Amino acid sequence: MSQRKETAMNEQRRQILQMLAEGKITADEAERLIDALERARPESPPASESHPRRRPKYLRVVVNAADHPGAEPTRINIRVPLQLLRAGVRLTSLIPPPALARVNAELDRSGVPIDLTELKPQHLEELIDQLGDVIVDVDEPDTKVQVFCE
C-alpha cells in the first residue's frame, strides 16, 4: 500500500477519535467506524512475500588456516547439499531403540544429558530448514573459518 493511503487512513481514524472525544458519536459507533475503516484497508502482503527469499541449497564450510606462522597454509572448502543433510537425518530415525538407549547412556555419562529418543524426524527437518539462517564466522590472525548456507 502506498504511503499516501496509509496517511489518509490514519487521518480518518484520528477524526473518528476526535468525534468520540467531542461526544458527537458513541463509543459503539466509533468502534463500528474503525472496524469499517479496517475492512476497507486492503491486506498488504508482508515484505518477505513480495520478495521471496531464495531457499539456500548448500551448506558451505570454508577454512583458511596455518598451523603456525610460516607453515604451509591449509585451505578447506566443503560444499554439501542441504538435501543430503536432510536425507542423513532421516536415516537417524532408523537407529534401533536399544542402540539409542546405549547412546543416551554414554551421552549422560559424558555430561551431555540429551535424550535422543525425544528427537523426532520432524524436529530434525525443522532444524535443517532453519540452517539457512546460520552463519558462523571465526576470524583469528592465522585462521579463518566460515560456515554458511548459499
Partner 1 sequence: MIPQLVTVRHRRRNGRSLRLYVPVVPILLVLSPLLLLGVLAGLVACLVFRVSPTGALRGTGRLLWALPGTRIEIEQGRTAVLVSVR
- Scanning 10-18, 71-79, 105-113, 140-148 for contacts with partner 1 by CB under 8 A, the matching segment is 71-79
Tell me whether residue 99 or residue 138 sits nearer to partner 1 (CB atom). Answer: 99
Cell of 149: 548456507
Cβ atoms of residues 20 and 27 within 8 Å: yes
Tell me whether residue 80 or residue 105 sits nearer to partner 1 (CB atom). Answer: 80
Cβ atoms of residues 131 and 59 within 8 Å: yes
Cell of 14: 484520528
Shortest distance in whole angstroms from residue 48 CB to partner 1: 26
Please provide residue 11's backbone torsions phi and psi, each rounded to the nearest 5 degrees. -65, -45
Cβ atoms of residues 56 and 150 within 8 Å: yes
90 lines the binding site for partner 1 (CB under 8 A)? yes
57 lines the binding site for partner 1 (CB under 8 A)? yes
Residues near partner 1 (CB under 8 A): 57-58, 72-81, 83-84, 86-88, 90-91, 93-96, 99
